[in-house]
C-alpha cells in the first residue's frame, strides 16, 4: 500500500501514478489491438462498426466509474485516518450499488442497443455489425463494471500495482481469444466482443481472489452486504456528481460521434482510431490526476491542507513537463502510426492525423482541467466539477454546430480544444475558491 500522508510528495505521487499510467496505456493498446485485428480480419467497415459502438459503451462505463471513484475516495479518507473497520463497510456498500446499477444498465442497454445506434446516425452499412457487437458487450457489462470498481477500491487505499497486474493477465487472455475467435472461427465483430467479455470475467475472478486473500479490510461475507444508509449517502454525495459529470462529458463525446457518423465510414474509423491513440498520449496526465485524487483523499483524512496545496502545485508542474515531451514525440510519430492502424486509407489517415495533432497541442490546458477536477472531487467539493460537466456538453454541442458546416471533420478536434480550455479556467477558479474555504488542522 502507498501511504501518501508523509514523506516526499512528488515521489509518492509518481510512485502511485506509474502503475496507473502503465495500466491506462495497456488498456488503450488493448483497444487499439482490437481495432487492428478486426480491421485486418474484416476490413474498414468492421473497424468502423466497433468504433461506432465505443462511445456508447464508454457512456455507461464512465458513469458507473464515477460512483466507484466516490466510494474509493471514502476508502482513501478512512485509510488515511487509520479506520480499517470502516473500510469494510465502504467496500460492501459500494459493491452493492455497482451490482444493482450493472444489472439495470445491462438490461436497458441490451434492449435499446440498435435504437441508440440509429439515433447516433450510425451509417447503415455498419449498423447490423455494430448492433451485434454492442449486444454482446452489454450482456457482459457487469464483469467490466465490477472489475473497474474493485480496481478503484484498491487504488483508494494506495495500491495501484495489483490493478496493473490484473490488466496484464486479462489482456493476454483477450489477445489469445480474439485471435482464435476471429481467425480460427471467423466470428467477426461478435468474436471481438466475446473475447472482451470473457477476459473481463477472468479479471474479476483473479481480482476477487486477491482481495479475499491479501486485503483483510475488503474480505466481506454475505452478512456484510447490507445497505447502510450513512455509507451510501456519503459515497453517493461524492460519487453521484462524479457520475453525472462523467455521463454528461461522454454525452458530449457522443455528440461528436454523431457528427463523424454523418460524414462517412472513413471518418468514423479515423475518429475512433485517432481518439484511442490520443488517449494514450494523455495517459500520463490522467495517471497523475488519479494519483493526486488518492493523495488528496488520504491527506484530507489526517487534515493536512498545506500538504494538499503543495502536492497539487508540484503535480501540475510535473505533468506539464511530461506532456511537453510527449507532444514533441507525437509530432513525428502520428502520421506513420495512423497509416499503419488505418490500413493506409488516405482519407481516414489524413483526417486522423489532423485530429491527433490538434489534440496533442491542446494537452497543456487539459492538464489543469483533469487534475483539478479530481482534486475538487476528493475534497468533497463537487459543485464546480458538476457544473463544468454540463458546460462541457454545451460546448461539445454548440461548437460542432457552428463549425462543422465550414470546417467539416476539423471541427471535431477543435471542439476538444474549446472544452478543455474552458474547463482549465473554470476549475482553476473553483479550486482557488473552494480550497480557501476549507478549515483543516495543519499537521
Residue 230: per-residue pLDDT: 92
Residue 422: per-residue pLDDT: 94
Sign of torsion over alpha carbons 244, 356, 189, 113: positive
Q: CA angle at residue 152 from 149 to 156, to 5 degrees?
A: 135
The one-character DSSP state at 223 is G
**Grid cell listed for 270:** 479515423
Q: How far is CA 79 from the centre of its chain?
A: 24
Classify 165 as helix, strand or coil: helix
Residue 409: per-residue pLDDT: 74
CA 280 to each of CA 22, 217, 260, 276, 286: distance values in angstroms, whole numbers, following the listed order: 10, 33, 21, 7, 10
The values of phi and psi at residue 282, to 5°, are -90, 5
Place of cell 440509429: 118
**Grid cell listed for 162:** 495489483
Question: What's the rounded Cα separation, in Å, for the pair 17 and 23?
Answer: 10
Cβ atoms of residues 271 and 50 within 8 Å: no
Residue 290: per-residue pLDDT: 86
What is the rounded average pLDDT for all residues in the chain?
83
Q: Which is nearest to 163 in space by CA: 273, 56, 19, 32?
A: 19
CA 211 to each of CA 66, 225, 290, 293: distance values in angstroms, whole numbers, following the listed order: 21, 16, 21, 22
Residue 440: per-residue pLDDT: 46
Question: What's the rounded Cα separation, in Å, for the pair 169 and 324?
Answer: 32
The one-character DSSP state at 7 is S
Cβ atoms of residues 408 and 262 within 8 Å: no
169-180 pLDDT, tens digit per residue, is 998 998 899 888
| Environment class of 222 (CB within 10 Å of its CB; exposed 0-12, middle 13-18, buried 19+) | exposed
Residue 441: per-residue pLDDT: 41
**Grid cell listed for 171:** 489482456
Residue 439: per-residue pLDDT: 57
pLDDT < 50 positions in the chain:
440-443
The values of phi and psi at residue 210, to 5°, are -60, -45
Residue 150: per-residue pLDDT: 95
292-325 pLDDT, tens digit per residue, is 988 998 888 888 888 998 999 999 999 988 888 8
Residue 262: per-residue pLDDT: 62
Question: What's the rounded Cα separation, in Å, for the pair 215 and 403?
Answer: 52
Residue 233: per-residue pLDDT: 92
Residue 143: per-residue pLDDT: 94
Q: How is 390-440 classified by DSSP, letter by letter?
A: HHHHHHHHHHHHHHHHHHGGGHHHHHHHHHHHHHHHHHHHHHHHHHHH---
What are all long-range contacts of 108-117, with beta carbons under 8 Å and residues at least 24 apart? 109/56, 109/60, 109/134, 109/138, 109/141, 110/135, 110/138, 110/139, 113/56, 113/138, 116/56, 117/52, 117/53, 117/56
Amino acid at each position: 500500500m502507498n501511504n501518501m500522508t508523509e514523506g516526499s510528495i512528488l515521489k509518492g505521487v509518481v510512485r502511485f501514478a506509474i502503475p496507473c499510467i502503465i495500466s491506462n496505456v495497456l488498456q488503450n493498446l488493448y483497444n487499439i489491438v482490437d481495432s487492428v485485428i478486426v480491421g485486418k480480419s474484416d476490413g474498414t467497415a468492421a473497424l468502423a462498426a466497433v468504433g461506432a459502438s465505443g462511445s456508447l459503451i464508454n457512456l455507461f462505463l464512465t458513469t458507473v466509474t464515477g460512483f466507484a471513484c466516490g466510494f474509493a475516495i471514502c476508502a482513501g479518507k478512512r485509510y488515511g485516518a487509520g479506520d480499517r473497520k470502516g473500510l469494510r463497510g465502504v467496500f460492501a456498500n459500494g459493491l452493492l450499488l455497482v451490482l444493482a446499477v450493472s444489472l439495470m444498465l445491462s438490461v436497458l442497454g441490451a434492449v435499446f442497443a440498435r435504437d441508440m445506434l440509429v439515433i447516433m446516425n450510425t451509417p447503415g452499412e455498419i449498423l447490423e455489425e455494430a448492433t451485434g457487437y454492442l449486444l454482446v458487450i452489454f450482456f457482459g457489462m457487469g464483469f467490466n463494471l465490477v472489475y473497474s470498481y474493485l480496481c478503484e477500491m484498491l487504488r483508494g487505499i494506495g495500491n495501484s500495482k495489483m490493478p496493473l497486474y490484473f490488466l496484464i493477465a486479462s489482456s493476454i487472455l483477450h489477445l489469445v481469444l480474439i485471435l482464435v475467435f476471429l481467425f480460427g472461427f471467423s466470428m467477426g465483430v461478435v468474436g471481438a466482443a466475446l473475447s472482451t467479455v470473457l477476459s473481463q470475467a477472468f479479471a474479476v475472478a483473479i481480482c476477487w481472489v486477491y482481495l479475499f486473500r491479501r486485503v483483510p479490510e475488503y474480505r466481506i461475507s454475505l452478512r456484510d452486504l447490507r445497505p447502510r444508509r450513512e455509507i451510501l449517502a456519503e459515497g453517493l454525495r461524492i460519487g453521484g456528481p462524479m457520475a453525472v459529470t462523467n455521463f454528461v462529458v461522454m454525452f458530449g463525446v457522443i455528440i461528436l460521434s454523431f457528427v463523424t457518423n454523418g460524414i462517412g465510414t472513413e471518418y468514423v474509423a479515423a475518429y475512433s482510431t485517432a481518439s484511442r491513440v490520443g488517449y494514450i498520449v494523455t495517459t500520463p496526465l490522467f495517471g497523475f490526476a488519479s494519483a493526486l485524487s488518492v493523495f488528496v483523499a488520504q491527506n484530507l483524512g489526517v487534515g493536512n491542507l498545506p500538504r494538499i496545496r503543495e502536492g497539487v502545485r508540484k503535480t501540475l508542474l510535473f505533468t506539464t513537463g511530461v506532456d511537453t515531451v510527449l507532444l514533441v514525440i507525437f509530432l513525428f510519430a502520428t502520421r506513420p502510426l495512423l497509416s499503419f492502424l488505418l490500413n493506409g486509407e488516405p482519407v481516414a489517415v489524413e483526417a486522423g492525423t489532423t485530429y491527433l495533432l490538434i489534440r496533442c497541442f491542446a494537452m497543456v490546458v487539459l492538464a489543469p482541467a483533469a487534475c483539478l477536477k479530481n482534486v475538487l472531487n476528493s475534497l468533497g467539493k463537487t459543485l464546480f466539477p458538476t457544473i463544468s460537466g454540463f458546460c462541457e456538453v454545451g460546448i461539445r454541442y454548440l461548437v460542432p454546430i457552428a463549425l462543422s458546416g465550414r470546417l467539416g471533420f476539423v471541427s471535431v478536434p477543435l471542439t476538444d480544444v474549446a472544452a478543455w480550455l474552458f474547463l482549465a479556467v473554470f476549475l482553476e477558479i473553483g479550486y482557488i475558491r473552494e480550497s480557501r474555504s476549507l478549515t483543516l488542522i495543519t499537521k
